[in-house]
Amino acid sequence: LAKTTQPISMDSYEGQEVNITCSHNNIATNDYITWYQQFPSQGPRFIIQGYKTKVTNEVASLFIPADRKSSTLSLPRVSLSDTAVYYCLVGDDSGGGADGLTFGKGTHLIIQP
Amino acid sequence: NAGVTQTPKFQVLKTGQSMTLQCAQDMNHEYMSWYRQDPGMGLRLIHYSVGAGITDQGEVPNGYNVSRSTTEDFPLRLLSAAPSQTSVYFCASSSNRGGAKNIQYFGAGTRLSVL
């Protein structure tokens, strides 16, 4: 599983766009990039997944450059309820893969009024 | 659709006691896993399974056993509880088909205290 590096914490304000970058220099050809959100006292929740270029859903966008050695989770117009820990996970998403899925330390995002 | 169900939600044990944390999913997912999360820390993988009858160790397997006799259930057994096992335990599942293995669905967690 590719090792990931994220900032430990970030601060922002309501209404701002927040970008959280994850480095994964040894990403493999079959690896996908997946982001999770975790609120206190809850299990992580899937946000978005991508392989290359840009992916957008109703919650966030994910930007992946051509070399795929990093990725950026973009949260548009954040609110106080976006305060959470965000995890970047990189791994082989092909069917039949037997590796365990491991999480890094995540980024604690704090949104202020 | 219940998703991933963990029981119990809270448990207090004395050192040396044993217990089983239950996890059940109703999504017919092949892949299931157990994580522990200590206060202020990330998730650490304990054990995982890619299908019924197949289990493997994660990052921190010592002191825990698992079995996977059915697709739906993946219980985690603490053999002889120690204070170091005080943590929140999360069970997760995902489909091992169609490129969705990394999209895991998590249970609500079991908060375990070992005195």
pLDDT of residue A1: 55
Chain A CB contacts of B96 under 8 Å are 95-97
More confident residue, A101 or A60: A60
What confidence category does residue A96 fall into, taking pLDDT thresholds of 50, 70 and 90?
Answer: very low
pLDDT of residue A94: 54
Q: Is the peptide bond before B8 cis (omega within 30 degrees of 0)?
A: yes
pLDDT at A45 over 60: yes
Q: Where are the beta strands (DSSP E) in B1-115?
A: 4-7, 10-13, 19-25, 31-37, 43-51, 54-57, 64-66, 76-78, 87-94, 105-106, 110-114
- In tens, the pLDDT along B26-83 reads 999 999 999 999 988 889 999 999 999 999 999 899 999 999 999 999 999 999 999 9
Chain B CB contacts of A42 under 8 Å are 108-109
Q: Is A49 on the interface with B (CB under 8 A)?
A: yes
Chain A CB contacts of B58 under 8 Å are 100, 102
What confidence category does residue A105 fall into, taking pLDDT thresholds of 50, 70 and 90?
Answer: confident
- Compute the mean pLDDT over every residue in chain A, rounded to the nearest whole number: 90
Q: Which of B19-55 are b and which e, b meaning 16 or more Cβ less than 10 Å from the residue's Cβ?
A: eebebbbeeebbbbbbbbbeeeebbbbbbbbbebeeb
What confidence category does residue A2 fall into, taking pLDDT thresholds of 50, 70 and 90?
Answer: low
Query: Cα distance from B46 to chain A (closest Cα, Å)?
Result: 9
What confidence category does residue A41 fall into, taking pLDDT thresholds of 50, 70 and 90?
Answer: confident
Of B42, B48, B103, the CB nearest to A103: B42
- Please give the torsion angle defined by the CA atoms of residues A102, A96, A73 and B43, in that order, rounded to the nearest 10 degrees: -20
Backbone angles phi, psi at B40, to 5 degrees: 70, 10
Determine the residue among B27, B55, B94, B104 to mutate to test chain A binding: the one whose Cβ has the most chain A Cβ atoms within 10 Å: B104
> Given the structure tokens 């051509």, which residue do they identify?
A66
Q: Tell me the two tokens of residue B16.
A: 């040396």
What confidence category does residue B1 fall into, taking pLDDT thresholds of 50, 70 and 90?
Answer: low
Q: Select from B2, B5, B91, B19 the least CA-distant residue to B48.
A: B91
Query: Cα distance from B88 to chain A (closest Cα, Å)?
Result: 9
More confident residue, A75 or A41: A75
Q: Select from A84, A100, A101 the least CA-distant residue to A43.
A: A84
CA–CA distance, B90 with B40 (Å, rounded to integer): 15
Query: Cα distance from B71 to chain A (closest Cα, Å)?
Result: 15
Does the beta-carbon distance from A46 to B45 stay under 8 Å? no
Nearest CA in chain A to B100: A93
Does the beta-carbon distance from A49 to B105 stay under 8 Å? no
Q: Tell me the two tokens of residue A3.
A: 């090792």
CA–CA distance, A94 with B107 (Å, rounded to integer): 23
Does the beta-carbon distance from B99 to A32 stay under 8 Å? yes
